[in-house]
Amino acid sequence: MSDNSRAEKNEIHIHEILVQCTKQDADRPELNDLELVVIKAQGNVPIQLTRVSGTTWKQRNQDSIRVPPKGLVLVATSERHGDLGFGCIEEDPTKFLRGQEDSRCNLQLEGENGLALSISFRLYKHVSNETRSQSLIEQMLADPSMVLKLSSLVPDDNPVKADGLNAIGAKLQEKFATTQDKADIDEAINAYEKALRLLSADDARFLVFQHDAGMAYDDRFLRFGNIGDINMAIERLQISLTMLPKGDEKLPAVQNNLGSCFAERFAHTGNMDDLTQSIQLQQQAVELTPEGHADLPSRLNNLGNSFMHRFERTGDLHDIGQ
């Protein structure tokens, strides 16, 4: 994450701006076209006002305005009479929140020729959509089984739903690794499949979700031995592999995992075609894995085991030499 991204997640904004003058000043001509300006280094931000009574103006639209991190300077101005006065908060605006999400603030403007203006506004901590989505996912993961049951209540077009379901699947799969409870891996696969149904094939997440689902099916096969699960694991991983562009850094990992699934199915069915596929994929994975890579030893071990299984079936000494 870039520094700019971190800053955006911690922005302080103002809106719901009201300006008031005294009754004595209400008829002053310079107030007939009153505006405010927020002074910012990146460019000043005008705030158009609508006069709602003789002494009160409100912000014309309700767009929020980002507050500079080192303080806030507001200038009252008139197109015909120029600047009328200013007010400022010279310290970090977050101090006014005192740990709260928002706070109503008041500011007195020091006006020209005895003009007295007061400004009130809502100061609040702006939460980006990314932060809000991440927070929702974290809440969902606190009780993944319950949230999975309630997921139907969340609209399918909610931008966080697919990511949330995939994250629930990963959490339940992780739980299964400890509990070995079939209900956990069943719910994990259910969550992965629901996440996939929300994505189109051209979505960048589609191939990743396919791979995650495939590995969950593989986990269930290894524990319970249902041939349908290893078939589904291979199908999901094949889809993921065909979608990866040449040279993608994830390619050797997917090749290795798919090769392992073919080897597992061979051990279950004895079909030599599966073993041949396993060796081809694992060889490709090893060839694409650089020297010194943390996964190279395990990938070499997988390939060696596949050659050993073929030697046991064919007696070909070339395989034992590999």
Which two tokens mark 232? 């589904």
Mean pLDDT of 1-24: 68
**pLDDT for residue 257 is more than 60:** yes
CB 17 within 8 A of CB 59: yes
Which two tokens mark 226? 């249902």
pLDDT for residue 100:
64
DSSP 61: S
Q: What share of the chain is helix, strand, coil (3-state, %, to 5)?
A: 55, 20, 25
**Angstrom distances, CA of residue 181 to CA of 39, 93, 125, 142:** 60, 51, 43, 19
Does domain 12-125 correspond to CATH entry 3.40.228.10?
no
pLDDT for residue 2:
37
Compute the distance between CA of residue 36 and CA of residue 76 in angstroms, rounded to an integer: 5
| CATH class given for the domain over 140-243 | mainly alpha
**pLDDT for residue 8 is more than 50:** no
**pLDDT for residue 6 is more than 50:** no
pLDDT for residue 4:
39
**pLDDT for residue 314 is more than 60:** yes
pLDDT for residue 73:
84
DSSP 290: P
Provide the mean pLDDT of the chain.
84
**pLDDT for residue 280 is more than 70:** yes
Segments making up each domain of the chain, as ranges? 12-125, 140-243, 245-322
Which residue type sits at 247? G
Compute the distance between CA of residue 264 and CA of residue 214 in angstroms, rounded to an integer: 13
Which two tokens mark 63? 């767009």
pLDDT for residue 130:
53
Mean pLDDT of 166-183: 92
Total length of the chain: 322
**Which stretch of 3-17, 120-134, 279-293 has the lowest confidence by average pLDDT?**
3-17
**Angstrom distances, CA of residue 239 to CA of 212, 254, 260, 276:** 12, 10, 16, 19
pLDDT for residue 256:
96
Residue whose tokens read 């291979």: 234
Q: Which residues face 14 on adjacent strands?
A: 65, 123
Does residue 198 sit in helix, strand or coil? coil
**pLDDT for residue 225 is more than 90:** yes
